[in-house]
């Protein structure tokens, strides 16, 4: 929202107490009253209230959030894949040799099934790798910036960066206001996300754990240059997520938000036998009208079967997007 479009006057109803036990202005106005919102409010209150038996020191208030499908959509395909496809199309005229790669062919044919085969979406990652390596860190950042400024989501016709979930943005701010540190823990590329996380989520780049590969460092013409490679690719998905959290952060989370079986391991890591109080949250995509509806069957990433089945026994809060969110995206 630019300076020429001031916020509309606040609706006094929006600031009214949600219920008697939360007499302050509602910090999560896009969340409807219900079990999911109650679980979040109650958990944050009990770990951040000094004197509470479940008080957690601020340093240990680590909240981890998946990105695709948790903070923004992953349909009709993960946004980073859309970037990779667009990059291939942009580069193919000048680099026709790219067309020899079977995964490039699948991408150009729109054959997402081939790209998503395998437990870690190996085809998709191959494509991501082709479009994310062999260039300097700054060149890659420039590609992402240019794409983000120009590309539009095919269904919503808005820039991808404008399509974050409004209720999750409120949750991020609510957690920060209560001393939490939010870290994005995503299968997406760390270098891809770090270009825009500060602008889009208010989360600094060092609070991103993503898929990574090594860069090489050298002085070129006397100037330090980091070049992206495909070596030592680390896929931060499934069992990789707890490993990534340990490797990059070195601290166990107490709150974990995810939306798919790819988040099951980090939900377990967060909530099972954690010496500190903890909460797991699963975003369930139930709203085909305002966003997308999928779980066991999906044409994109984000399959959700095992984690959903495990949720009741673990006490993970399941967010029914249709029922629990009164807004999905921020207003235009």
Cβ neighbours of residue 38 closer than 8 Å, sequence gap 6 or more = none
Q: Is 149 in the site for a second copy (CB under 8 A)?
A: no
- Closer residue to a second copy in complex, CB, 53/219: 219
Helical spans, DSSP H, in 153-218: 166-177, 190-194, 197-201
Please name every residue paired with 68 in a beta bridge, in sequence order, or none if there are none: 72
Least separation in angstroms between CB 50 and a second copy: 20
Q: Does 204 bind a second copy (CB under 8 A)?
A: yes
CB of 64 to a second copy, least distance (A): 12
Asked if residue 294 lies in contact with residue 320, where contact means CB atoms within 8 angstroms, the answer is: no
Q: DSSP states of 107-167 as a string?
A: HHTT-HHHHH-TTTTHHHHHHHHHHHSSSBHHHHHHHHHHHHHH---TTT-S-GGG--BHH
When asked if residue 265 is in the footprint of a second copy (CB under 8 A), the reply is yes
**DSSP assignment letter at 252:** -
- Which residue, 18 or 64, is less far from a second copy as judged by CB? 64
- Residues 113, 130: Cα–Cα separation, whole Å: 18
Q: Looking up tokens 């029922």, which residue turns up?
A: 323
Q: Are 131 and 84 in contact (CB under 8 A)?
A: yes
Name the segment binding a second copy (CB under 8 A); options: 81-89, 215-223, 281-289, 294-302: 215-223
Q: Which is nearer to a second copy, 131 or 236 (CB)?
A: 236
Site string for a second copy, 72-111 (x = CB under 8 A): ----------------------------------------
Helices 137-150 & 79-91 angle (0-180, nearest 10) = 100
66, two tokens:
């998946």
- The binder of a second copy chosen from 159, 179, 205, 277 (CB under 8 A): 205
Place of tokens 């999750």: 168
Using the rule CB under 8 A, give the single segment among 24-32, 169-177, 211-219, 323-331 that binds a second copy.
Answer: 211-219
The mark string for 239-258 relative to a second copy (x by CB under 8 A, - otherwise) is: xxxxx--xxxxxx-------
In whole angstroms, how close is the CB of 60 to a second copy at the nearest point? Answer: 10
Q: Does 114 bind a second copy (CB under 8 A)?
A: no
How far apart are the C-alpha atoms of 155 and 149, rounded to whole Å? 17
Residue from 70, 212, 286, 301 touching a second copy (CB under 8 A): that is 212
Binding interface with a second copy (CB under 8 A) = 59, 137, 190-191, 194, 198, 204-206, 208, 212, 214-219, 222-224, 226, 232, 234, 239-243, 246-251, 265, 268-269, 272-273
């Amino acid at each position: 929202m630019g300076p020429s479009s001031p916020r509309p006057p606040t609706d006094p109803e929006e600031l009214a107490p949600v219920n008697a036990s939360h007499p302050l202005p509602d910090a999560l106005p896009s969340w409807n009253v219900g079990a999911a919102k109650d679980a979040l409010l109650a958990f944050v209150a009990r770990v951040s209230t000094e004197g509470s038996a479940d008080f957690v020191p601020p340093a240990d208030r680590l909240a981890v959030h998946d990105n695709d499908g948790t903070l923004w959509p992953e349909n009709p395909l993960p946004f980073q894949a859309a970037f990779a496809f667009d990059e291939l199309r942009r580069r193919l005229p000048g680099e026709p040799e790219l067309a020899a790669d079977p995964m490039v062919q699948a991408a150009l044919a729109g054959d997402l099934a081939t790209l998503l085969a395998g437990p870690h979406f190996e085809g998709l990652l191959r494509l991501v790798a082709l479009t994310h390596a062999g260039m300097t860190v700054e060149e890659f950042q420039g590609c992402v910036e240019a794409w983000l400024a120009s590309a539009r989501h095919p269904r919503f016709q808005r820039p991808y960066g404008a399509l974050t979930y409004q209720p999750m943005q409120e949750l991020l701010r609510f957690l920060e206001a209560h001393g939490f540190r939010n870290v994005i823990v995503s299968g997406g590329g760390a270098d891809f996300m770090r270009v825009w996380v500060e602008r889009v989520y208010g989360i600094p780049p060092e609070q991103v754990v993503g898929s990574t590969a090594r860069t090489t460092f050298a002085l070129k013409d006397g100037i330090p240059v980091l070049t992206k490679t495909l070596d030592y690719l680390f896929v931060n998905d499934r069992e990789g997520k707890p490993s990534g959290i340990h490797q990059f952060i070195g601290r166990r989370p107490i709150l974990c938000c995810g939306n798919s079986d790819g988040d099951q391991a980090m939900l377990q890591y967060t909530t099972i036998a954690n010496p500190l109080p903890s909460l797991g949250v699963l975003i369930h995509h139930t709203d085909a009208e305002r966003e997308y509806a999928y779980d066991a069957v999906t044409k994109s990433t984000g399959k959700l079967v095992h984690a959903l089945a495990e949720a009741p026994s673990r006490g993970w809060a399941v967010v029914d997007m249709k029922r629990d969110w009164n807004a999905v995206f921020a207003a235009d």
